[in-house]
Amino acid sequence: MATIANRYFIKKGEEAFADITTKFSGVTILKIDNFLARGKAKNIYTQSWINSNTEDVYVPDTVFFENADVNITFIVRGNSAITVHDTFIDYLTKNKTTIKSLYVNKQSDFVCLTEYEPTLVHLGRTNDDNYIMGTITLHRVTETSTPT
């Protein structure tokens, strides 16, 4: 089991949250970058002037932000590494997925919009030394929120 800092829960639709390391035996999340990131403002406007160092600025009462992508770096170990890896990637890429972090007590929904390829494949080894490492980029489709 991972430490609380690297402990993430996952679900699709109405199913219950499950610890990633339990649902996908052999998967360890090494890090998730940008889980708390906020994207660029979408509705703040500025206009620069050619002959001045000042700018005209419009800031509305409510500012909306783009949803930031996250990068999930993970490793899959064991004799069944390729099977577990493929199942994990299928789970993340084929539907909207909700990921929750106990460390920051936040959750968001994600979809995969980009291609994926493992960064390191080390298979066909003896003594259970098989592993696959990868980083997958997921696009956040809901604002990060505190679980209810």
CA distance 148 to 144: 12
pTM for this model (two decimals): 0.85
Q: Please name each of the domains of the chain with its CATH number.
A: 4-39+66-140 (2.40.30)
pLDDT in tens, 81-105: 999 999 999 999 999 999 999 888 8
pLDDT for res 138: 97
DSSP 41: B
pLDDT in tens, 24-34: 999 999 999 99
